[in-house]
């Protein structure tokens, strides 16, 4: 690209054409155009994806309407499709995951942000964030050969302590909603820890000092002053973790039992939306069956959009506030 | 009465604080546990045969996953070709050229795309590529993974570009460089480390993805020449072998799991070390 | 002079670079015959190194779907395609699909019951009751009365079935429908059914894997999987009232009861008469499209079928699959000509 010398543009007769050519020569238009094309294609791809999901699920959407979301029956042979067992399995396994990951995650975040010396905190945070990089299928592998046998061995204890609730009754085979929930908990805890820790760190020091000056213990300061301040960001991290767990496929399908039934007990096997798509998509014959699976994909997509959106709102508002 | 209350507060203080330490230990220890377990069980069968041979027929012991290792490499290469240019240039646009509304739309869209479950991306690639072409292919799998790479590539490129100090940009413009020249010669090189490590982290993330490959690149017992045949891939083989009854396959699944995890963690650790050393940007 | 030499060299080298045409064929379907198919395709590849037949075991239902969608070159299923499925194929592809039986196999009730060393006997009522969810414990009277002297524990039975569309399921439910009116009316036969109870596994492989991992479990798998993984499996009482174990002899007897086979080779051989027949056997079929566009692929498929019916058959018994009866082989040889 030859470098044209800059001259006073007003001295030139056709300065408009000249400056356009100059811009072109220096590549601004090209750069702008190229990067705009890339940005546009991102938007196009996303729009096209949503459109394809919507279009290819039209058969079941028209046939079942909203009742698709509330029907319990999943019978491909009879052409009866209902999403309820899968929505139930997805939601329950994620709920179990959150009920384990939130106390664990917030507790660890408190330790890392408030109590641990800086070097130790950095190392431990590093290790925990690496956990987020472990592929899903490896969690599934460990789930089958370690977690499920361990849970099977721990079942009598669980049943003894919690067997009075309908959640822990009935036969237990190992693969179950509980196993699915526990695997998911391990997978999402790094997100809660990572973000919560950062949010807690942004709480101004004077808040802590004021509480301590009033005679609060370390714990009381943390729990009653710091954490409430960071509440929004922590909630945001929980939503993010939830969005992650809703879409998890491999680890879940390897330990959840793959049974499309709704059962109050966590000991029972279940099925999640992502798992049923992974298992049944290649064999979905006809037109109605694939449409039902794609509609399930649309439902999952919708769920994750909503939850991700809420997460972003909460986390971003906290971070921008805290970084002042 | 008051001193009892105070003692109680002190006890609660100690107990809860120690509990948080326990939580951290559990969380951090899990990774150590996973890595060591995979190492112990996987390294046993990690031999030359595993790395260089093709799978043997069902029920026969021996064989390896050479085709899956190469297959994963090919898929990642294609994912990079699809995901990195669009992602990087999109990030450039977001950081350098976009106005407030386009910036909002682009950020919102990339968030949307990032939130799409990987299985749904698999469906998309199946209807987009496999059905019209009438066969499964490495190409379809690579495209699916590439689409997964785009949102993170956009956001991380934009982040690292924005983090380049204004002084560098102003310096370039004071010397008479056009926007593009400033970008090419000053800004992008300054953000180079961050962007490249971002790409590496992104690759490590999609390297372990299984779901989108199930109905795009499918699987293959043999070598997969070119780009339009189905191909074996490490994560898919791990899944297939883990749920099967054959002990020999379980062994190979451990080894494959160890190889995959080792590579993913190695990339992650290297990337984070690079990022933490060089400025100007924290993660 | 050097230029001409260069061009000659280039031509020679590029000619040498293209060896005998590599033929890559993709197939998918039943998990039931996967052990013998993977062995066959491996042997065939060693015989003809330029031919690669990549078979993926994804289940009969998926095999039928993928061959109908045209994403694989041929499919495989242990459930013959129904009339509706055949019509769908013709609609989508414009021509028909042919069934070619390959081997005979047996569907066995495999279980994981530590502490019980003897082979268990299962009556048809027991199997139907277990899979209906009415028989829930191992020491149920129905099981005890068929297994005198065996110390059956009071543990709950964990049923394992297929979560995917399966020809093995079709055969199993076909048998249960024939021996239990209640099963026939409540659940029926099919590749996918509404299972009253049980855990789901994808493919024969995962069901076998699940049974191995889960104590007190019972599920149905192909005989070879049970043998290769040293799993316990039971005998089943056949229509003649004899408790038979699945093996080469009893499978052969089940096929021998077949009088004649229709031209399209679609037939069920569950619950046959015959004192030594094992009641839950089946043929398994390759699904070959009537028209194969690529001439090289067509020739390969035709050649392979011929090989399979001759030399291939001599290898099946070592993996505990049954050979095809001779009249069927002869009929198939003629049927190969239908592939265009």
Q: Closest approach of chain B CAs to the CA of A266, in angstroms?
A: 22
Percent of chain B with pLDDT strictly greater than 70: 98
pLDDT band at residue B172, thresholds of 50, 70 and 90?
confident
What pLDDT score was predicted for residue A308? 86
pLDDT band at residue A321, thresholds of 50, 70 and 90?
low
The 10s digit of each residue's pLDDT in A131-141 is 999 999 999 99
3-state secondary structure C49-107: CCEEEEEEECCHHHHHHHHHHCCCCEEEECCCCCHHHHHHHHHHHCCCEEEEEEEEEEE
C187-to-B19, C180, C194 alpha-carbon distances in Å: 52, 10, 6
pLDDT band at residue A149, thresholds of 50, 70 and 90?
very high
pLDDT at B126 over 50: yes
Nearest CA in chain C to B218: C56
pLDDT at A9 over 90: no
Size of interface B-C (CB pairs under 8 A): 76
Q: Closest approach of chain A CAs to the CA of C188, in angstroms?
A: 11
Give all chains having 3 or more CB-to-CB distances under 8 Å with chain A. B, C
pLDDT at B145 over 60: yes
- Tell me which chain C residues have a C-beta less than 8 angstroms from the C-beta of A173: 158, 199, 214, 217
pLDDT at A22 over 70: no
B210 in A contact zone (CB under 8 Å): yes
What pLDDT score was predicted for residue B280? 47
Query: Do residue C70 and residue B130 have CB atoms under 8 angstroms apart?
Result: no
- Tell me which chain C residues have a C-beta less than 8 angstroms from the C-beta of B244: 205-206, 208-209
Nearest CA in chain A to B151: A42
Residue A250 gets which letter from DSSP? Answer: H
Task: For residues B8-27, give the mean pLDDT.
Answer: 92
- Tell me which chain A residues have a C-beta less than 8 angstroms from the C-beta of B24: 107-108, 111-112, 116, 124, 128
CA C246/CA C329 separation, integer angstroms:
23
Nearest CA in chain A to C30: A283
* Mean of pLDDT over chain C: 91
Global confidence as pTM: 0.88
Query: Do residue B58 and residue C206 have CB atoms under 8 angstroms apart?
Result: no
CA A192/CA B221 separation, integer angstroms:
40
DSSP string, B136-182: --HHHHHHHHHHHHHHHHHHHHHHHHHTS-HHHHHHHHHTT--HHHH
pLDDT band at residue A17, thresholds of 50, 70 and 90?
low
Mutate to test the interface with A, among C194, C196, C212, C215 (most CBs of A within 10 A): C194
Q: Closest approach of chain B CAs to the CA of C18, in angstroms?
A: 14
* Mean of pLDDT over chain A: 87
Task: For residues A263-271, give the mean pLDDT.
Answer: 92
The 10s digit of each residue's pLDDT in A80-139 is 899 999 999 999 999 999 999 999 999 999 999 988 899 999 999 999 989 999 999 999
Query: Do residue A269 and residue C199 have CB atoms under 8 angstroms apart?
Result: yes
The 10s digit of each residue's pLDDT in B81-106 is 999 999 999 999 999 888 899 999 99
What angle separates helix B118-125 from helix A28-56, to the nearest 10 degrees? 90
What pLDDT score was predicted for residue C15? 45
Task: For residues C52-75, give the mean pLDDT.
Answer: 94
What pLDDT score was predicted for residue C17? 37
The 10s digit of each residue's pLDDT in C5-43 is 666 655 554 443 344 578 999 999 999 999 999 999 999
pLDDT band at residue A18, thresholds of 50, 70 and 90?
low
pLDDT band at residue A320, thresholds of 50, 70 and 90?
low
pLDDT at A19 over 70: no
pLDDT at A79 over 90: no
Q: How many CB atoms lie within 10 A of CB C92?
A: 11
Task: For residues B120-137, give the mean pLDDT.
Answer: 93
CA A309/CA B112 separation, integer angstroms:
8
pLDDT at A13 over 70: no
Mutate to test the interface with C, among A149, A175, A255, A285 (most CBs of C within 10 A): A285
Nearest CA in chain A to B25: A108
Based on DSSP, count helices (H) and strands (E) in chain B, helices before strands.
12, 0
Task: For residues A223-231, give the mean pLDDT.
Answer: 90
What pLDDT score was predicted for residue A319? 63
What pLDDT score was predicted for residue C9? 57
DSSP string, A71-120: ---EETTTTEE--HHHHHHHHHHHHHHHHHHHHHHHHHHHIIIIIS-HHH
Percent of chain A with pLDDT strictly greater than 70: 90
pLDDT at B282 over 70: no
What pLDDT score was predicted for residue C212? 92
Percent of chain B with pLDDT strictly greater than 90: 60
Size of interface A-C (CB pairs under 8 A): 69
How close are the terminal C-alpha atoms of chain B, in Å?
A: 50
- Tell me which chain C residues have a C-beta less than 8 angstroms from the C-beta of A269: 199-200
A154-to-A162, A178, A186, A267 alpha-carbon distances in Å: 12, 12, 18, 12
Yes or no: say if A142 and B37 are a contact pair by the CB < 8 Å rule: yes
**Assembly ipTM:** 0.89
Compute and round to an integer the Cα radius of gyration of chain C. 23
pLDDT band at residue B173, thresholds of 50, 70 and 90?
confident
What pLDDT score was predicted for residue C76? 96
Burial class, A117, CB count within 10 angstroms (exposed 0-12 / middle 13-18 / buried 19+): exposed
B192 in A contact zone (CB under 8 Å): no
Helix (H) or strand (E) holding B186: none
Yes or no: say if A216 and A305 are a contact pair by the CB < 8 Å rule: no
Q: Closest approach of chain A CAs to the CA of B4, in angstroms?
A: 15
Q: Closest approach of chain C CAs to the CA of A286, in angstroms?
A: 7
pLDDT at B196 over 80: yes
Q: Out of C59, C190, C195, whose CB is closest to A283?
A: C59
CA B220/CA B213 separation, integer angstroms:
12
What pLDDT score was predicted for residue B98? 86
- Tell me which chain B residues have a C-beta less than 8 angstroms from the C-beta of C202: 243
Task: For residues C274-294, give the mean pLDDT.
Answer: 94
Give all chains having 3 or more CB-to-CB distances under 8 Å with chain C. A, B
Interface of C with B in 21-60 (CB under 8 A): 22, 24, 26, 28, 34-35, 38-39, 41-42, 45, 52, 54-56
Interface of A with B in 115-134 (CB under 8 A): 115-116, 124, 126-131, 133-134
Interface of B with A in 94-153 (CB under 8 A): 94, 96-98, 102, 105-106, 109-124, 126-128, 147, 150-151
pLDDT at A315 over 80: no
Query: Do residue A112 and residue B120 have CB atoms under 8 angstroms apart?
Result: no
Q: Out of B96, B211, B253, whose CB is closest to A250?
A: B211
pLDDT band at residue C303, thresholds of 50, 70 and 90?
very high
pLDDT band at residue A75, thresholds of 50, 70 and 90?
confident
C52 in A contact zone (CB under 8 Å): no
Nearest CA in chain B to C40: B57
Task: For residues B117-125, give the mean pLDDT.
Answer: 94
Nearest CA in chain C to B246: C229
Q: Closest approach of chain B CAs to the CA of A124, in angstroms?
A: 6
- Tell me which chain A residues have a C-beta less than 8 angstroms from the C-beta of C165: 76, 280, 283, 285
C212 in A contact zone (CB under 8 Å): no
Yes or no: say if C60 and C203 are a contact pair by the CB < 8 Å rule: no
Yes or no: say if A28 and B178 are a contact pair by the CB < 8 Å rule: yes
């Amino acid at each position: 690209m030859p470098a044209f010398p800059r001259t006073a543009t007003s001295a030139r007769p056709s300065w408009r054409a000249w400056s356009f050519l100059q811009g072109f020569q220096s590549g601004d238009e090209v750069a702008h155009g190229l990067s705009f094309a890339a940005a546009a294609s991102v938007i196009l791809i996303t729009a096209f994806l949503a459109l394809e999901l919507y279009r290819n699920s039209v058969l079941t959407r028209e046939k079942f309407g909203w009742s698709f979301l509330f029907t319990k029956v999943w019978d491909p042979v009879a052409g009866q499709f209902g999403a309820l067992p899968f929505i139930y399995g997805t939601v329950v396994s994620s709920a179990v995951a959150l009920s384990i990951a939130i106390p664990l995650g917030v507790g660890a975040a408190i330790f890392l942000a408030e109590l641990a010396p800086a070097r130790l905190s950095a190392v431990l945070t590093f290790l925990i964030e690496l956990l987020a990089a472990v592929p899903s299928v490896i969690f599934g592998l460990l789930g089958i050969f370690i977690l499920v046998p361990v849970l099977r061995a721990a079942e009598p204890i669980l049943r003894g302590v919690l067997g009075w609730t309908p959640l822990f009754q009935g036969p237990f085979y190992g693969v179950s909603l509980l196993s699915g929930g526990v695997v998911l908990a391990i997978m999402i805890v790094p997100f809660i820890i990572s973000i919560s820790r950062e949010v807690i760190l942004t709480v101004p020091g004077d808040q802590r000092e004021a509480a301590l000056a009033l005679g609060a213990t370390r714990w009381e300061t943390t729990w009653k002053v710091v954490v409430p301040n960071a509440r929004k960001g922590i909630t945001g991290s929980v939503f993010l973790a939830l969005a992650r767990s809703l879409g998890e496929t491999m680890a879940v399908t390897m330990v959840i039992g793959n049974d499309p039934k709704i059962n109050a007990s966590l000991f029972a096997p279940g099925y999640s939306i992502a798992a049923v798509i992974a298992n049944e998509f290649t064999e979905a014959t006809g037109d109605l069956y694939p449409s039902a699976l794609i509609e399930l994909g649309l439902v999952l997509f919708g769920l994750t959009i909503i939850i991700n959106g809420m997460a972003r709102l909460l986390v971003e508002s906290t971070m921008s506030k805290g970084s002042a | 009465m008051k001193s009892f209350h105070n003692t109680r507060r002190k006890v609660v203080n100690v107990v809860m604080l120690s509990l948080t330490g326990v939580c951290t230990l559990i969380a951090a220890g899990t990774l150590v546990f996973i890595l060591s377990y995979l190492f112990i069980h996987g390294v046993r069968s990690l031999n030359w045969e595993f790395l260089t041979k093709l799978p043997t027929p069902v029920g026969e012991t021996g064989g390896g996953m050479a085709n899956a290792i190469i297959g994963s490499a090919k898929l990642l290469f294609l994912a990079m070709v699809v995901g990195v240019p669009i992602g990087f240039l999109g990030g450039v646009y977001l950081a350098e050229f976009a106005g407030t509304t386009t910036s909002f739309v682009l950020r919102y869209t990339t968030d949307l795309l990032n939130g799409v479950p990987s299985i749904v991306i698999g469906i998309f690639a199946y209807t987009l590529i496999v059905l019209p072409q009438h066969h499964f292919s490495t190409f379809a799998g690579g495209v699916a993974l590439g689409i997964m790479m785009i949102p993170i590539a956009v956001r991380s490129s934009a982040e690292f570009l924005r983090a380049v100090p204004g002084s560098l940009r102003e310096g370039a413009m004071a010397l008479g460089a056009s926007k593009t020249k400033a970008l090419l010669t000053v800004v992008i090189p300054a953000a180079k480390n961050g962007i490249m490590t971002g790409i590496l982290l992104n690759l490590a993330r999609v390297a372990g993805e299984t779901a989108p490959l199930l109905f795009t690149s499918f699987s293959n017992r043999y070598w997969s020449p070119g780009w339009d045949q189905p191909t074996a891939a490490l994560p898919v083989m791990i899944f297939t072998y883990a749920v099967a009854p054959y002990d020999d396959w379980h062994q190979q699944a451990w080894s494959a799991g160890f190889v995959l995890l080792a590579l993913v963690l190695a990339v992650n650790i290297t990337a984070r070390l690079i990022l933490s050393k060089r400025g100007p940007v924290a993660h | 002079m050097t230029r001409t030499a260069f061009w000659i060299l280039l031509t020679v080298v590029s000619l040498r670079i293209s060896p005998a045409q590599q033929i890559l064929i993709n197939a998918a379907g039943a998990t039931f015959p996967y052990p013998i198919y993977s062995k066959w395709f491996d042997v065939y590849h060693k015989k003809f190194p330029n031919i690669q037949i990549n078979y993926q075991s994804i289940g009969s239902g998926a095999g039928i779907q993928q061959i109908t969608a045209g994403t694989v070159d041929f499919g495989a299923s242990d459930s013959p395609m129904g009339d509706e499925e055949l019509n769908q194929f013709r609609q989508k592809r414009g021509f028909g699909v042919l069934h070619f039986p390959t081997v005979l196999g047996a569907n066995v009730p495999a279980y994981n019951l530590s502490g019980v060393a003897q082979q268990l006997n299962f009556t048809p009522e027991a199997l139907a009751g277990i899979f209906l969810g009415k028989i829930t414990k191992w020491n149920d009277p129905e099981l005890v009365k068929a297994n005198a002297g065996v110390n059956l524990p009071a543990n709950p039975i964990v049923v394992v079935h297929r979560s995917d569309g399966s020809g093995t399921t079709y055969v199993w439910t076909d048998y249960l429908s024939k021996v239990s009116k209640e099963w026939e009316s409540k659940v029926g036969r099919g590749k996918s059914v509404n299972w009253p109870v049980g855990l789901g596994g994808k493919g024969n492989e995962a069901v076998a894997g699940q049974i191995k991992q889960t104590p007190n479990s019972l599920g149905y798998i192909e005989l070879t999987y049970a043998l290769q993984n040293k799993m316990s499996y039971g005998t089943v009482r056949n229509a003649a009232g004899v408790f038979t174990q699945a093996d080469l002899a009893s499978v052969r007897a089940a096929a021998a009861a077949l009088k004649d086979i229709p031209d399209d080779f679609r037939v069920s051989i569950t619950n046959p008469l015959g004192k030594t027949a094992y009641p839950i056997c089946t043929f398994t079929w390759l699904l070959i499209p009537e028209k194969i566009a690529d001439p090289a692929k067509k020739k390969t498929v035709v050649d392979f079928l011929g090989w399979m019916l001759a030399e291939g058959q001599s290898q099946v018994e070592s993996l505990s699959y049954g050979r095809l009866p001779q009249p069927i082989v002869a009929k198939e040889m003629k049927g190969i000509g239908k592939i265009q």
